[in-house]
Every structure is written in structure tokens, then in C-alpha cells.
Amino acid sequence: MKKIVNTDFEVRSSHAMCVNHSELDHSFVSLLKYAVAGIFFGIILVKAQVIAWFRIQEMFRLQSFHMFGIIGSAIAVGALSLFLIKKFNLKTIDGESIQLEEKHFAKGQVYGGLLFGFGWALTGTCPGPLFAQIGTGASVLLVTVLSAIAGTWTFGLLKSRLPH
Amino acid sequence: MLEWIKQPWPWYVAGPLIGLTVPLLLLLGNRTFGISSSLRHICAACMPANIPFFKYDWKKESWNLFFAVGILIGGFIAFNFLSSSAPLTVNPKLVQEMAGYGITSYDGLIPQELFNWPALLTVKGFILMVLGGFLVGFGTRYAGGCTSGHSIMGLSNLQWPSLVATCCFMAGGFIMANLILPFILKL
């Protein structure tokens, strides 16, 4: 069998969001808690109408404060939480110390950011709400997810030829 | 209580709850909030095709897939058990603009008139659902994150590259919604 060289840490650190991972929880049961967290998050996305195409259109036309209020207050609460975690050196429920990675600048944040912005306004959704939308029964958006996966795959294919 | 839950939640309730997802995932197991990575893990799991970007141990990141499935289940629960059937109330200016494109229904959170199976075969539907989805998948990975990973997690952690990314997300959205989308919706 061909040996897979594990270079994911360095690859991930530049492109994916999740570089730190707990060493302790890899069993199915312990992963279920993330599904529960996802359920919590998905319910909020629907109840706050973040998944509504018209809400996103209002946001990009500056016709409603709703989405700006949600993103702004989420950042405020997230920042306060991280401040408290650092200040009191809080640990995970398994007792590990919490690590946060620095993000490094790359041109992709500009080019990719603009392209994602185009897609966000077209579909009225970003990756999280997309999963919630399918949960609400919008089956046609399975095609949008498949297309998003194809987009990610195409990025992986072209990565070395794109400016970074 | 249930009646209150069934109403749409205001931003000052929903935003802070979304913000709490950041410490929740960290405390549960040192996980950094972010969803677009799940698309990459699906590529790595299903069709790595010998592309270096997809040659990593995606199983180590499978929490992200559990989280994504949870979001889908949460969407199902909220829609079927915690929602009222009242139509969406949106800014009258948007209603007026949309009426110009023949979009008049505000039932449900996703406009039926634009997002449906037959529309996939129209130019407009293809651009909205297929091209739009492709740009979401390509753009988020190129940018290294989406609204959750950069705008909420990254900005909460005071990372300036995430501010650059967020500004570009918004700029792209403003350009598309105001300058390009009107032509697409007229198709």
C-alpha cells in the first residue's frame, strides 16, 4: 500500500480554518457532540432568517440592519469569549489547553474573497446556511452544494497556478 | 414560550448566540469555528485524485463534517417544529425592485420562484444555483475561510487578514447584488 505522507498540517495552516485538533476525541460518540453544536447553530441560522435569500439581498443593498447586527454582535460575543478564555487560561472539557492559530495574509483573501462575495450574493448563502437550507427541505440546493464541492475541488486542482 | 420561539428572532438574540459557537467549539475540543473546510474534507474523502491539496488525513477533521450534518438537522428541526408560516417581511424598496423582475412571493425563506428544480435548466437558474455554488466553494477555499471562519472566528481573534477577507466578501457581494445581479434576474 502506498504510504500517505502527512503534510496536512502545513498545507492546512495556510488554507483551512481548522489547524488545531484535539488528540483525544476521535471516536464516533465523542464526535457526536459536534453534531449537537451544529444543530444548535443550524436552528439559530433558520430562526434568525440568515438563510433567507432576501435578507442577504437587503444586506448588500444596505436596506436592513438585520444581517450587520447579527454578524457584528456575533463578533463582539466571540471576541469577548476569546478574551476570557485567554485571560483565565481556560481548558477544553478534556483538560487540553486551548490554542488559537494566527492567520497569515495571502492574496487569496482578496481574490478568493471577492469571488466568494459574488457567490454569496447570487446564492444568498454561505456554506453554513447552505446546509441549513437543505434541512428546511430545499432539495434543489443539493445541486448548489455539489457545485460548491466542485468549486473547492477545482481550487485544489489549480492551486499551484493561482497567485498567492 | 414556544410562541415566542416561533417568531423570527431579532438580531440581538441571534447574533450573540452565533458568537457563542466560537467558545463552544473551543471548549468542546479545541476546534476552530469554520464551515467551508467541510467542503474540502468531502473532496479529500471522496475524490482526492492525487491532488496534493486533498492528500491529508481528513478523518482527523471529521468533526467538521459532523458539525455540518448537525447544521442540516438543525435546519430541519427549526423549519418543521419551531417556525410560523408568516411570509417574510422585507424592505419595501427591495419588494419594488424584485417586482420588476417578476418576483412577488415571500412565502418561505428561499424564493421558490428562483430556486426550484425546473429552473436549473434555465440560464438564470443555472447562474444562481450552479455558478453561484461554484463561486462559494472556489472563493471560500481560495480565501481560506468563509463568513464563519474569517468574519466571525478570525475577527473575534483580531486577525487582520480576516478583516481583509471580510471586506472583500462584502465588496464582492455589493458589486454582484447591485451591479450584476439586476441583469441576471432580468434573464
**pLDDT tier at B80, thresholds 50, 70, 90:** very high
Number of residues that make up chain B = 187
Question: Quick check: A16 pLDDT over 70?
Answer: no
Express as a percent the part of chain A with pLDDT over 90: 80
3-state secondary structure of B8: coil
Q: What is the rounded CA–CA span in Å between residue B63 and residue B41? A: 10
Interface size between A and B, measured as CB pairs under 8 A: 562
Q: Are A108 and B142 in contact (CB under 8 A)?
A: yes
| pLDDT tens digits along A93-143 | 999 999 898 999 999 999 999 999 999 999 999 999 999 999 999 999 999
Output the average pLDDT for chain A.
88
Chain A residue numbers touching B98 (CB-CB < 8 A) = 54
Q: If you average pLDDT over every residue of chain B, what do you get? A: 96
Sign of the dihedral defined by the CA atoms of residues A85, A91, A97, A101, in that order:
negative
User: Is B52 within 8 Å of A10 (Cβ atoms)?
Assistant: no
pLDDT reported for residue A24: 55
Q: Are residues A97 and B128 in contact, defined by beta-carbon separation less than 8 angstroms?
A: no
**SS3 state of residue A103:** coil
- Which of the four pLDDT bands, split at 50, 70 and 90, describes residue B85? confident
| Chain centroid to CA B96 | 25
Question: Given an 8 Å threshold on Cβ–Cβ distance, is A53 in contact with B148?
Answer: no
Report helix, strand or coil for A97: strand
How many other C-beta atoms lie within 10 A of the C-beta of residue A75? 24
By CB neighbour count within 10 A (0-12 exposed, 13-18 middle, 19+ buried), where does A7 fall?
exposed
Residue range B73-97: average pLDDT? 94
- How does residue A23 score in pLDDT terms, banded at 50, 70 and 90? low
Q: B3 with B115: CB under 8 angstroms?
A: no
pLDDT digits (tens, 9 = 90+) for B100-119: 999 999 998 999 999 999 99
Taking CB atoms and an 8 Å limit, are B69 and A131 in contact across chains?
A: yes
Cell triple for B73: 438537522
pLDDT top residue among A95 and A3 = A95
Q: Higher model confidence: residue A20 or residue A28?
A: A28
Contact criterion met (CB below 8 Å) for B6 and A43? no
Contact A42 B111 (CB under 8 A): no
- Mutation target to probe the A interface, by most A beta carbons within 10 A, among B30, B31, B105 is B30
